[in-house]
Amino acid sequence: MKIIKLISFFLCLICWQQQVAAHGGVGMENDQCVIKIGFLKAHFFGYQRVSDDTQEFCEDAPAVTESIFVIEYLHDYLKEMRVDFRIISDVNGLGRYANWQDIVALKTLEQDTVYFLPPAVYPDGALRADYLFKEAGDYIGIVTAVHPEKQKTYRAVFYFQVGGYRYQYIALLVAILLLVQFLYWYFGSKHGLPNSRLLKTSSAERR
């Protein structure tokens, strides 16, 4: 019973860590992908056409191909603002915890920029950005919203990967299986679980 509880605890811990790591400016809320631009929220999702099949994603883009990012405002306040969208290559390894202070500190922002959608007002409440990725790797998205009259600026910074992200889940699965095997072996040898008894019996017979 202890081994089951311990395995469940580790699985929950790993899943919680994955969920926290996935959060930044973009994350899941009530089964919907949401981007937080300051205190303002919008639905965020991307599309890719892979092998005549359109795939939707929240953060990580599955393939190195043309990608469409859509931001649908949940606050009418955003409809009054000039909003721009930038994608930079994460050559500095800022990773999932990148924030605006990290972006400000970059000395090569323009050089690292692979895509930039100039500031514009979207009265219909939907921003669309279309970019053809050429390389797999780590990227950071930056959304900036500026109110023309109130002189207020709101930002969202989020990390995402393009291509090959499934390998992370494979590595996680392997790690979980190894953990389960280790815990079973450890508690089996300590408390005499069936498999461990069988191993001991086989060892004794060989002698």
Q: Which CATH class is domain 25-164?
A: mainly beta
Domain residue spans in the chain?
A: 25-164, 168-206
Question: Would you state the structure tokens that stand for residue 200, as one six-digit string?
Answer: 């001991």
- Spatial neighbors of 149 by CB under 8 A, at least 6 apart, are none
pLDDT of residue 196: 46
Write out the chain's pLDDT in tens, 207 residues: 555 555 555 555 444 444 444 445 888 888 899 999 999 999 999 999 876 778 889 989 999 999 999 999 999 999 999 999 999 999 999 998 999 999 999 999 999 999 999 999 999 999 999 999 999 999 999 999 998 888 899 999 999 999 965 445 555 566 677 777 776 676 666 656 555 444 444 445 555
> Residue 18, Cβ neighbours under 10 Å: how many?
12
